[in-house]
Every structure is written in C-alpha cells, then in structure tokens.
Structure 1
Amino acid sequence: MSGTRLLRVLGAAFAVAAVVGGTIGQGILRTPGLVAASVPDAQLMLLLWLAGGLIAAVDACSTVELATSIGEAGGPYAFVRRAFGPVAGLAAGLADWLGNLGAVAFIAVVFAEYLHRLGADGGLPIPVVSVLMIAAMFALQWRGTRAAAAAQEVGSAIKAVLFLALIAALAFARGDAVAAEPVQGGAITLVAAIGAFRAIYGTYYGWNGAAYFAEELRNPRQLVRGTFIGIALVTAVFVGLNAAMLHVLTPAEMATSTLVAADAAGRVLGARADTAMTVVSLVSLVTILGVMLMFLPRILFAIGRGFDLRSLAGVAEGGTPRAALAATAIGGALLALVGVYETLLAFSVVLLALVGVAVNVAAIVVRRREPGLQRPWRMPLFPLPALVSGAINLALAIAFVVEDPATSAAAIAAMALLMAVIVPLLRRDARG
C-alpha cells in the first residue's frame, strides 16, 4: 500500500463515461414497455422521458455542489457525513454500497445469460460464468485507476455508438417496418402516469456516477461538465430511442412487449435482430459493471478512512483501493452464486431513495452551516433544486413503502440492526 489518498488522474472524459456507462443499460431496453402500458400516448411518453432527464439534472445540482466543494471520495457517504456526522454518513454509505452490491451480482448473472444465448459461454453454468465475469473486471480494476478509466471510456464510447446505430436503424426504417398510425388508449389516470414516471426515474439511476470520484478528478470543473454533459447525452439517447421505437411500433405494441428494443429491431433487422440486441446488451452490461466495480470500493474506502480502518483505507500505487475492491468483488460474486441478490435489490430501492433525500437535505445544511466553504460550482436558484429533488425522492420512498410495505419495513429494520451492530464495533476500534 502506498497510502490513504487516491490519485488525481481522472479527467472530464472519464466523468462523462462514468455517467453514460453507469446509466445506459438494460433498463432502457425494457422499461419503455412498462411506460407504454401505463401511458399509451406517444407524445406524453416522450415528454415523460424528457422530464426524467430534466429532473435528473435538477437532482444533480445537490450532488455536484457537494462533490466539488467537499472534494472527497465516497459519494453520498461523504456528503451525509459532512452534514450530519459519521453515524448518519455510515448509514448512507452502507445503504448505498449494499443496494448496489445486489446490482453487481444481478448484472453479472444477466451477462452470463446473454453469453449463453450467443452460445459463447463454453457450456459453463450461469453462476460460474457470472463469477468469472466479476473476476475479470476485478483483475482490470486491480491494475490501477488509469487502466480501469481508459477501459471505461472506450467501453462507454462503443456503447454510445451502438445505441446511436440502433436509433438510426429504427428511425430510417421504411415500408412495412414503419408502425401504423398510433391508436390512442383510454383515459390516462394520474396513478398510471406516476407509475410510468417512477419506472423512467429508475432507468436514469446512475447519473451520479462521477461524484464518487471527486477526489480523483484533476479539476472540480471536470466533475461539473462530466455530470451534466453525461445526463444530457443519456437523455438524448433515451428520448431518441423511444422516438425511434415509436416509428416502428405503436404504443399498444410496445405495451405488450417485455423487451421493446428487441421487438422493434426485429421488425427492421429480421433474423439478425436477436444477435444485434445481444451484442448491445453485452456491451451495456460490461460498462455498467465496470463503473460499479470502480465506485463501490470508493464507498468502502471512504468509510474505512473515516473510521480509521486501515485495512479498507489503503490505496495501491496505481490508485486502486485494493482491499475495498476485493471486498466488493467477493461480495458480488457470493451473491451471484447463491442467488440472494434479488432479495437485496428488493431491499435496496427504498433505502436508496432515502439516501437521495439525505443528499438533497445535506446540500442545504452544508450551504447554510459552512457559507465560507470554497464552492467551485453552486447550484442555481438555491435551495429550490434541492427542495424539488428532495420532494421527488421522498415521494418515491413513500411509494415504495406503500407498494411493498413488508419488504420496505424489513429493509429499514435490517439496516437499523446492521447499524446497531457495526457502530459500537467501529467506535471501539477507533478508541483502540
């Protein structure tokens, strides 16, 4: 180990790649069907997807101001700790890490399933391929921050090109491939519109990917540009892909599809569509997994440094927090093997929504409490963006509780129990 400081070796290109690579994935290939089922109106669908990007940008105001002014790794952990103290920060960090750890396992399993569809899995069982995928990404991250960042930049660029090619293929389809005149459905209820938007909001999750690397970007302005340019690119892809799919499918056809992009591609590309969409999916999954195995260790690293846990707070010469990386990779691999990641994902949604609320409130608290703190970027119209996004995140958390009260209660209880066990241990170690 060379110390407890990460290396400032990342630039704006990586910040954009962290947002694009961590956001555009399987969600946009599946979610349009759920949205069309709730809101069978083409124009309203597109407006909702555009609104999702705008709200992500508003939500980003809190995160970007905190990340550039505090300048520490760990994302929400660092923000909430600064505003409310180490225990609250630990709760936010653990909720963030555990919730996303389930996603690591899920993504690895889905990747293995797509490889199986291509017949490129060597006949190995899906859990084994999942673990091998995590191991391969672990090895890349182990080499150092520069190598991992370069791979992420290349992968995200390839993914962007593939999605643009898909949009172009659908948008310029002619003849029989073009959808008939869309038939509007019945009245759209407020509940249905809210349900559709909640699915859209979840698809945009990942827009905060660059904030976890605030300590490693060479200039705070790179985080600002990377985050907002990344959100703009993601929004353009999401709106553009939905518009292109509506060119070849009606809202009613989209509503009955579980993989809308594949069905739309099938109408244009025919038998080649399955292979094309599998390749797009594989690239998307690789880039998302790459980002997650970069930022999740930064959460553990920040927690380790904050509580003086040297085993987690060590950084190798290449800039990788290797112990935190190993803990993350092992945790994700175990979940992929035993299959409990779905339970963790179900637990995580309400916790992650509450973490979002905490970040929005933290932005207001830190601005009020530390007016002299150097802020390379300030949210406009303070505190309106934080209040608006905080209200949305709180509404989502409440919606998750109402929709599945048993799982939500179990998640909150499990988090409280975990904190009750961990906090005394950490304080004892700190005294030692």
Structure 2
Amino acid sequence: MSGTRLLRVLGAAFAVAAVVGGTIGQGILRTPGLVAAAVPDAELMLLLWLAGGVIAAIDACSTVELATSIGEAGGPYAFVRRAFGPVAGLAAGLADWLGNLGAVAFIAVVFAEYLGRLGADGGLPIPVVAVLLIAAMLAVQWTGTRAAAAAQEVGSAIKAVLFLALIAALAFARGDTVAAEPVTGGAITLVAAIGAFRAIYGTYYGWNGAAYFAEELRNPRQLVRGTFIGIALVTAVFVGLNAAMLHVLTPAEMAKSTLVAADAAGRVLGARADAAMTVVSLVSLATILGVLLMFLPRILFAIGRRFDLRALAGVAEGGTPRAALVATAIGGALLALVGVAVNAAAIVVRRREPALDRPWRMPLYPWPALVSGAINLALAIAFIVEDPWTSALAIGVMALLLALIVPLLRSGTRG
C-alpha cells in the first residue's frame, strides 16, 4: 500500500460514464411493461418517464452540493457523517454498502445466464461464470483507478450507442411492424399512476454514481457537469426508448410483456432480435457491475479511514483501495434506503457550516432537498408497507451491525 489518499485522476467523462453506466440497465428493458399495465396511455407514460428524469435532477441537487463542498469519497456516508455525526454516518454507509452489495452477485449471475444464451459460456456452470466475471472486473480495477475509469468510459459509450441503435431501429420501423391500434385510452387511477412512477423512479436509480468519486475528480465542476449531463442522457434514452417502443407496440401489448424491449425488437428484427437484445443486456450488466465494483469499495475505504481501520483504508500506488475492493467483491447483500438522509444532510450542513466553500450550490434552496426528500420518504414508507417482513429484517440487521461496530467510535475515530 502506498498510503490512504485516493488519486485525483478522474475527469468529467468518467463522471458521465458513472451515471450512464450505473443507471441504464435491465430496468428500462422490463419496467415499461409494468408502467403500461398501470397507465395505458402513451402520452401519460412518456410524461411519467420524463418526470422521473426531472425528479432525479432535483434529487441530485442535494448530492451534488454536498459532494462538491465536502470533497470526500464515500457518497452518502461522508454527507450524513458531516451533518449528523459519526454514528449516523456509519449507519448510512453500512446501509448503502450492504444495500448495493447484493446487486454485485445478482448482476454477475444474470450476466452468466445471458452469456449462456449466446453459447459463449464454455459450458461452465452459471455460478462459476459469475465468479469469473467478478474476478475479471476485480483484476481490471486492481491495476489502478485510471484503467478502471477508462474501461468504464468505453463500456458506457458502447452501451449508449447500442441503446441509440435500438431506438433508431424501432423509431424508423415501417409497414406491418408499427402499432396497429391507437396508443391512447384506458382507465387510469391515481393509485396506479403513483405505482407506475415508483417503478419508473426505481429505474433511474444510479444517477448518483459520480458522487462517490468526489475525492478523485480533478475539479468539483466536473462532478456537477458529469452528474447533470449524465441524468440528461439517461432521461433522453429512457423517454426515447419508450417512444420508440410505442411506435411498434400498443400500451396493451406492452402491458402483457415481461421484457418489452425484446418483444418490440422482435417485431422489427425478427429472428435476430434475441441475439441483439442479449448483447445489449450483456453490455448493460457489465457496465453496471463495473460502477458497483468501483464505488462500493470507496464506501468501505472512507469508513476505514475515519475509524483507523488500516486494512480497509490502504490505497495502492495506482489509486485503488484494494482491501476494500476485495471485501466488496466477496460480500453479501441487504436492502437499504439512504436518500432521505442525504437530502436532510444537505440542509443541515448548509445551516451548520454556512462558511463552507461550496463550488456549486443547489438552485432554489432548500426546495430541491425538501421535494426530493419527501419523495424518497414516501417511497421508503411504501416499501415498508408493502413488504414489512423484509423491512423489519433489514432494520434488525442494521441495528445489530451498529451495536457491534459503534464501540469503535470511542477508540478508533479521529472525530
């Protein structure tokens, strides 16, 4: 290990790649069917997808202000700790790390399944392919931050091109491939519309990817540009893909589909659709996994540095927190929500530290934080009501972890 400082070697291109690569994935291929079932009106569907991007941008105001002001790795961990103290910060950091960790294993398994569909898995069992994928990702990042960032930028660019190609293929479809029925109509209730928006907003999850690298971006403005440009690009892809799918499928047909993009592509591309969508899925999954395996170690690294856990706080010469990377690559999973705490942290830090240098300030303060905080809180409450047992389990595990780790605050923390 060469020290405990990450390297400032990342730029705006990586910030955009972190947002695009971490957000556009399997969700946009499946969620439109759920939305169409709840809201069988083409115009309203597109408005809801656009609203999802707008809300993501509003939600980003808190995160971007905090990330550029505090300038530390760890994302929500750093923000909540600065606003509410080390215990709250530790809770947010652990929740964030554990909540996203399960996605690493899940994405790797799904990637292995899709690779098998192409016959490119070498006949190996799915778990073996999944482990090899994670090992390959770990190997790339082991070499250093620059190499990992370059791989993410290339992967995200390829993903964007593939989705734009899919949009173009659907949008310019002609003849008997276009939707044969009107694309509007059907009864819509407020409850259904709210449910549809929840599904949509979940698809936008990942927009905060650049914030985890605040300590490694060469200029705070790069984080600002990267986050908002990334959200704009993701919104354009999501709205554009839905509009293109509505060109070849009716809302009723979309509602019956479990993988709308594949069905839409099948109508236009015929037998070639399965292979094409499998490739799109593979690239999408790989880039999301790449972002996860880059930002999750930064959370552990930030916690380890704060609590003098040197095994986690070490940084290799290339800028990679290798111990934290390995811990993340072999970890487990929990579900957790930390968005509300981040929105509240933006307000608390603004009031508590008015003189803090803020390279970027959220417009119309404090309304973006209040609005997005209310939305995040409503989504969290809805999840608890719908799945109380899972919620109770997650809260119980978090309480146990805190009970075991909080004593470190008395002996290991530097304040």
TM-score range, shorter chain: over 0.9
Answering whether residue 406 of structure 2 is matched by residue 411 of structure 1, we say: no
1:330 to partner: Cα distance: 1.5
Q: Tell me by how many angstroms 1:79 deviates.
A: 0.1
Instruction: Select between 409-418 and 79-88 the one with higher mean Cα deviation.
Output: 409-418
State the Cα distance separating 1:185 from its structure 2 match. 4.7
- Contact preservation (8 Å) 1:214, 1:220: yes
- Tell me, in whole angstroms, the C-alpha distance in 1 between the residues paired with 2:172 and 2:179: 12
Give the Cα–Cα distance (whole angstroms) in 1 for the partners of residues 82 and 233 of structure 2: 31
8 Å contact 1:39–1:193 — kept in the other structure? yes
* C-alpha spacing 1:358/1:225, structure 2 compared with 1 (3 Å): same
Question: After superposition, what is the alpha-carbon deviation per residue over 1:146-197, rounded to whole angstroms, capped at 9, x for unaligned?
Answer: 0000000010000000000000000000001000132545321111111100
- Contact kept, 8 Å, 1:131 with 1:333, in 2: the verdict is no
1:115-152 deviations in whole A, cap 9, x for unaligned? 01111111111111111100000000000000000000
> Is the 8 Å Cα contact of residues 134 and 332 (structure 1) preserved in structure 2?
no
Q: Is the 8 A contact 2:86 2:409 kept in 1?
A: no
Q: Is contact 1:297-1:324 (8 Å) kept?
A: yes
Q: CA deviation at 1:429?
A: 4.7
CA distance in 2, matches of 1:158, 1:124: 27
Whole-angstrom distance in 2 between the partners of 1:356 and 1:248: 36
Identify the residue that residue 355 of structure 1 maps to in structure 2. 338
* Distance across 1 between alignment mates of 2:414 and 2:105: 35
Q: Output the CA distance in 2 between the equivalents of 1:379 and 1:409.
A: 34
Deviation by residue 1:303-357 (Cα, 9 ceiling, x = unmatched): 001111111000000000000001011216999xxxxxxxxxxxxxxxxx64100
TM-score, normalised to structure 2, is: 0.98
RMSD (Å), alpha carbons: 1.7
Query: Do the aligned residues in 2 keep the contact of 1:14 with 1:153 (CA within 8 Å)?
Result: yes
Any idea what the Cα deviations from partners look like across 1:349-382, whole Å, max 9, x if unmatched? xxxx641000000000000110100000000000
Following the alignment from structure 2 to structure 1, what is the Cα–Cα distance between the partners of residues 356 and 412? Answer: 31
Preserved CA contact (<8 Å) 2:78 2:89: yes
CA distance in 1 between counterparts of 2:414 and 2:347 reads 32
Fraction of identical pairs, as percent: 92
Q: Is the 8 A contact 2:74 2:213 kept in 1?
A: yes
SS at match of 2:358: coil
Alignment deviations for residues 204-260 of structure 1 (CA, whole Å, 9 cap, x no partner) = 000000000000000000000000000000000000000000000000000000000
Task: Check the 8 A contact 2:98/2:334 in 1, yes or no.
Answer: no
**1:354, 1:109 → 2: CA distance?**
24
Task: Indicate the SS of the match to 2:18.
Answer: helix
Cα distance in 2 between the residues matched to 1:186 and 1:159? 34
Distance (Å, rounded) in 1 between the aligned partners of 2:29 and 2:140: 27
How many residues matched? 415
| Alignment match, 1:235 | 235
Instruction: Work out the CA distance in 1 between the residues paired with 2:399 and 2:51.
Output: 34
CA distance in structure 1 between the partners assigned to 2:327 and 2:106 by the alignment: 17
Give, in whole Å, the separation in 2 of the partners of 1:282 and 1:416: 37
Alignment of 1:63-142 (within 5 A): 63-142=63-142
Unpaired runs of 5+ residues, structure 1, are: 336-352
Q: In the aligned structure 2, how far is the partner of 1:330 from the partner of 1:135? A: 10
Counterparts of 1:147 and 1:164, CA distance in 2: 26
* Partner SS for 1:331: coil
Contact 2:98–2:333 under 8 Å retained in 1: no
Q: How many Å apart are 1:7 and its aligned residue?
A: 0.2
TM-aligned CA distance change 1:330 to 1:426, over 3 Å: farther
Q: Describe the superposition over 1:277-300 as per-residue Cα deviations: whole angstroms up to 9, x where unpaired.
A: 000000011111001100000000
Q: CA deviation at 1:418?
A: 1.3
What TM-score results when the alignment is normalised by the length of structure 1? 0.94
